Structures are given as C-alpha cells and as structure tokens.
Chain A
Amino acid sequence: MAELTLVEAVNLALARALEIDPDVVVFGEDIGINGGVFRATLGLQARYGKERVMDTPLSETLIAGMAIGMAAQGLKPVAEIQFMGFIYPTLDQILSHAARLRNRTRGRLHCPMVLRAPYGGGIHAPEHHSESTEALFAHIPGLRVVIPSSPLRAYGLLLAAIFDPDPVIFLEPKRIYRMVKEAVADDGQALPLDVCFRLRDGSDVTLVTWGAMTHETLQAADRLAQEGISAEVIDVATIKPIDSATILESVAKTGRCVIVHEAARACGVGAEIAAQLAEHGLMSLYAPVQRVTGYDTIMPLFRLEQHYLPTSARIVTAAKRTLEAA
C-alpha cells in the first residue's frame, strides 16, 4: 500500500474515478499537461486523454457553468478552481443553478458535479491565495461542502463526492497537501458524506474542527493530554449539511466545546455549530462554547498570516478556559 500525501491521494481518487466511470471528466485551468499548479491532476491527461481531462481558458464562470450542463446530461464533471481566491465568479452558477437544478425541476434534471479548490493560508502565498471562505458555500441550500483533513479522507471523500448525485464543493486544505503521508489503498472505496469523523476520543472537552486546522487541534489535544486533560477531536469533514448529532453526542459526554476554524469568526461555520449547541445541547454544557478562529479582519498578506491563523497554543488556552469555568 502506497504512502501518499493528501494531494497525491486526491490524484489517486481522480484517477480511480476516471478509470471506473467513462462519464467522469476532469477540467480546469492548467490541469492538463501541467498537472495543475499543485499537481493534483498530474498525469491524468496522458492516461485518460484530452477529451476527458482538459484545460479550460481562464473562465471560472464557464468552468462551473459547463459542469452544470455536463451534469444535466449525465456526465460526472470534476472541475478545478485553481485557488479559492478565484472561486467567487462561480458563486452565481453554484447558488443560482447547481444547487437549485434538482429542486426547480422537481428532480427532472440534477447536478452530480464536483467543484474542487485548494484553500486556506499558511503557505506564504501572494494576495488572494490564502483565504478560507467555506462559509459562503455552507450557507447555500442544496449544496454539499466537503473538506478532507488527511490523505485517507481525501481519497475516500473525493470518491464519495464524485459519485454523489448532487453538487459538491470539495475544498482541499493546501497547507497540508504535503504535510503528512499515510498509507492509502486504491480500493475505490468511498467514505461517507454528511458525517463527522471522531479523530480522538476524550472525556473532558470536545474540540471541533476541519481542514488544515485538524493538525493544530490534534497537537493541542496532545498538549492537553500532557497536562492530564482528555480532549476529544472531531473532524466535521462535511460542513454542509452538518452532522450535528455527532457533535452534540460528544459534548453531552464532555460538557465542553471548543470550535476551531481558520476562517473569519462572524457567521463562520463555527457560529452555526455554536448555535446548534445552544439550541440542543445547552443543558449538557459546563462552560460557554469557545471559538478559536481567524479574526474578522482581511486575511493579512503572508508577513502577518501566522498571527492570523489559529495556533495550538490558542486552542489549548481556549480549552483550559472551558475547564476553568466549572
């Protein structure tokens, strides 16, 4: 079994999907001979041909819109937006059409498409290359928003997204594209969507996160463990729709919750999780819910980005605060 990085696992899942289903097509900017700017599509055009793996012009609206047309015809398009900072022209297509097509035609047409984009900060990238704006998509009914946090979950969740009959925004945390390697079996097995993954069992506090922040959160859990605090870590993975049952169940056990995300705080996905806890889990809480997030500022350019991004130290502090409260 090969030891793969997250981006290699993305590549493997794309290859597997192209291999097993002739309806799968992969396209985007520089994804052909160049293999994508992060090499997520490396070698796919050579193996599966220019008809099924094609470079598009610099036309993000077109990339999302043509995926909708293809999907309505029964193809399974997997489109890449080069960076999340360039995804915004697609919002109109995703919100006005992809997410609505099944509903507005009462199921006559539907939209089994995937829009992939690398996202998040911490790689010293130029302006517009570091934001985490997943909440924009998580607000849209009819959509799924899926974020892997490890090579195994990248492989399994991407396959699930590709073969899901509804549109999926698949956001890849690029800071951890090559951070760790993991044994990934190319068995074509999808992981379930719409469910959280419990990464670590604990009894004192629940740490809820997704994407690249999973790593800081697991580090924080290690540090807390050294101080005798048992933290449970949940990777939300599908942030739309959210599996709040798993989170509520964990908080019912621990009585404390810290939500960690890279994105700005106000109206972030963490706010939705905190609201769910307030509505359905208030009585099991020993302490107010804490959020460790990016600030409600413009994501700074890279000289200051480490000050913006949540750290394991900030997570530890927040967790301790929940323990001090009761």
Chain B
Amino acid sequence: MARADSFADGNSITPPPRQFGQARRVAHFEIKYLQYLNHLGEVAEELPEFAQERGQLLALYRAMVLTRTFDKKAIALQRTGKLGTYASSLGQEAAAVGVGAAMAKQDVLLPAYREYGAQFLRGVSMTEILLYWGGDERGMNYGAQAEDFPICVPIATHAPHAVGVAYAMKLRGQARVAVCALGDGATSKGDFYEAVNIAGAWQLPLVFIVNNNQWAISVSRAAQTRAETLAQKAIAAGIPGEQVDGNDVIAVRERVAQALDTARHGGGPRLIEALTYRMGDHTTADDASRYRPGDEVEQQRQYDPIARLHKYLARCGEWSQQQDDALYAECEAKVDAAVKDYLATPAVAPESMFDYLYEKLPVALRTQRESLSSQGESGNG
C-alpha cells in the first residue's frame, strides 16, 4: 500500500517574504521541445537507446503503416455505406503509436478518438474499432484488453476518469500508470483543468498526452487559446509539461516512456503535448475545405510521420523498397481480414439494449424488454 503521507496535503508551501518597493519574480517556467528525427528523416538529436535497435524502429514503422492502412479502409467503408461516421487518424499515427509502444501491458489507456495506433498495440482489434463506428456496442467490449477505457467522444470528459484510475492504482500501491490522450480542443475544457489540477496535488501516476493536431473541428489552435503552448497548462497545476514533435515517433515513444517511468515509480504526473496535424477532415461527416486553407494541408505533407521514418530507415540501408511493398501488402491483408470479420459479425439481438443496462434487469424494465421482443422485425411500435 502507498503510504498515507505520500498523498501530500500541499500545505507546506511557505509564502515568499513580503517586500515593498520592488517586484520579485515568484514563479517562472520554460517549456522544452524535443525532436529526434527531423522531417527529412535526419537525426536532429542523438537517438535514444531503444532507437538504436532496428527491430524496435521497424515495429513502430509497421504499427504506423498498419494504422494508416486501416484508416484508409475505414474511410472507404464509410463512403460506400458500410460504416457510420468515422474519425480519421491520418497524419497522427506517430502520436498514437509512440504512446502505445511506450506503455506497459498493465497500464490503462483512456483514449479519445484518434488513438487507434495506440489501441491496436494494446490488443484492441481492428474489427472492434470498425464495429464501434459501425454502430455496435460490442466494438467497445475489447476481447484482449480488459481494463482500457473505450473511445471517449465527449471532449475531455475522460480526463477525470483517468484521475480515478490513477488514484486506484496509487491507493493499491501498484506500479501502474493511467494514460489519458486528449486533443488540443480538450485543453479548453474545465474537465481537463480539474483533472490536471488534482493529478498535481495528489501526485498521481497519470500521464496526459495532448495530441495537438492544430484544429478543434473548425477552430484553429491560435483561435482556441492565447497560451504559447498547451504544455504550459500543466505548469499552472504544478506538474511538468513539455512538447514533442508528435510526428516523430521516436520522440513520442521516448518522452512517453520517460514520463511513464517517472509516474510508475512515484514521481508524479506529466503532460506531453505532441505537435501533429490532422491531415483529414474532423470526421467523415465534416468538410475541412470549408474552413481550412488547402495550402496549409499541402504544406503539412512534408512533416508526415510515416514518410519521415521511412526516409531514415532507407538512408540507414535497413529498409528496401521490396520490404516496404511487402509490408504494405501485409497490412492490406490484415485490414481486409478485419473488414471481413466486421462485415460477417452476426447481427446483435435488439433485446441486448436492455441486457447491459444494469447487472440485473430491474423488474420495472421487464415489460419493456418483452414488448421489444414481441415487436420482432417491425421495430418500435
């Protein structure tokens, strides 16, 4: 069990001595930004240890390519009427894959809705994600991931959940961390501030990942806040905040791993702002050309996370075009198999809408359930 005194009261802060006639600086901060691979695939900073291993980098690359292949297929399914509205993660693969790769199995991920790259690495299946956007609750019953939260649609509302998960871990003295992924838009919400604030006060094992893709649907990053960085919002809560190049999967993987290690060993929470870009529309129901200049999107293509790592691997002579083609073919096959499973998933019984409301169906609802059953194919009469 964690020790009682590790839940700090936070009342040990002594005010600075009063001085008159001159202003004193009583607080100051800086936000660091880290990038290992620049957009040309060149080493900008000496690579961290894990990135010296070819296998590790290839695993990240594969995960990003799989995520993008999935994404393209999901959009195609939506366009052909085989999927509901879908939120694309195009361009943000590194920010998700880096998180998923850094996390330990026993950690808990609380994702928003562009973290497929992390979810896949944590055992969530592509079929499940398709089922979810295909309008089926079974897509949130992750077969190989018991404790991760399902996708959270209402913005930032899962940040307080992450606090509760982290609190439970700390109370039980577990070496586990909760990871909450949010977008830039989420950092304008009270839920986010309330969660970041208490994570600091209670020094919880909690890492916030802010996937800053520059757009909250149609509202640009600049229009959302006057703050120079989103990372500094953590500073106000007394927890470290930093930026990484969110399109550099090495930087994301490394900094998230560092934050997890700190949190896991009682060092408290951290917030990492991953700078990335939403290459696609907000969702398939959105048309970003209504509000976003096309040349901005074109300009962003050069920072693509997958092309960047590909350039590096190719430059190192460790990745041939044939290997790349084979990988893409392999990912296509995997995605096709998932789509096949999705499309072949047996229909769900209408009565299931009653069967998971409570552990045991209250008597008051039995008649309604029977009434639905008796409707047969005709629907709600």
A106 (CB) vs chain B CBs: closest residue? B141
Dominant SS at the B interface? helix
* Smallest CB gap from A103: residue in B: B356
Contact of B168 among A49, A56, A61, A70 (CB under 8 A): A70
**B169 at interface (Cβ–Cβ under 8 A)?**
yes
Q: Which chain B positions have C-beta within 8 A of A68?
A: 160-161, 164
CB within 8 Å for A92 and B149 given contacts A65-B163, A103-B357, A104-B137: no
Q: Given contacts A51-B2, A61-B191, A66-B161, are A105 and B150 in contact (CB under 8 A)?
A: yes
The segment from A107-115, A122-130, A219-227, A262-270 that touches chain B is: A107-115
Contact across chains for B198 and A106 when beta carbons are under 8 A apart: no
Is the Cβ of B364 less than 8 Å from the Cβ of A242? yes
Interface residues of A in 75-93 (CB under 8 A from B): 75, 77, 89, 92-93
Contacts of B363 in A (CB 8 A): 194, 241, 243, 245
Question: Which residue of the partner chain B has the closest CB to A95?
Answer: B154
Q: Is the CB of B358 within 8 A of A75?
A: no
Docked pose: A71 CA to B359 CA in angstroms = 14
- A54 to B161, Cβ gap below 8 A? no
Q: Mark A149-179, 1 if CB is under 8 A from B, else 0.
A: 0000000000000000110000000000000
Query: How far apart are the CA atoms of A52 and B157 in the complex, in Å?
Result: 24
Known: A73-B147, A96-B157. A51 touches B141 (CB 8 A): no
Closest to B142 in A: A108
Provide the residues of chain A in CB contact with B182, threshold 8 Å.
none
Contacting residues of chain B (279-300) with chain A, CB-CB under 8 angstroms: none
Interface size on B, residues (CB 8 A): 48
Residue interface bits B289-330, CB-to-A below 8 A is 1, else 0? 000000000000000000000000000000000000000000
Interface size on A, residues (CB 8 A): 49
B76 CB, min distance to chain A CBs, angstroms: 26
Q: Cβ of B161 and Cβ of A69 under 8 Å apart?
A: yes
Cross-chain contact A66 with B140 (CB below 8 angstroms):
no
Asked if B195 is an interface residue, CB under 8 A from chain A, the answer is: yes
A59 at the interface (CB under 8 A from B): yes
Please provide the chain B residues from 134 to 176 with a CB less than 8 Å away from any CB of chain A in the complex. 137-138, 140-142, 146-147, 149-150, 154, 157-169, 171
Identify the A interface with B (CB < 8 A). Answer: 25, 49-52, 54, 56-57, 59, 61-62, 64-75, 77, 89, 92-93, 96-97, 102-110, 141-142, 144, 165-166, 194, 241-245
| Interfacial residues, chain B to chain A (CB-CB below 8 A) | 1-2, 4, 7, 108, 110, 137-138, 140-142, 146-147, 149-150, 154, 157-169, 171, 178, 190-191, 194-195, 197-198, 201, 352-353, 356-359, 362-365
| 10 interchain pairs, CB-CB under 8 A | A49-B4, A62-B198, A66-B198, A69-B110, A69-B163, A70-B165, A72-B164, A75-B171, A109-B150, A241-B365
Apart from A51-B1, A65-B161, A73-B165, list 4 A-B contacts with CB within 8 A.
A69-B166, A97-B157, A104-B137, A106-B138
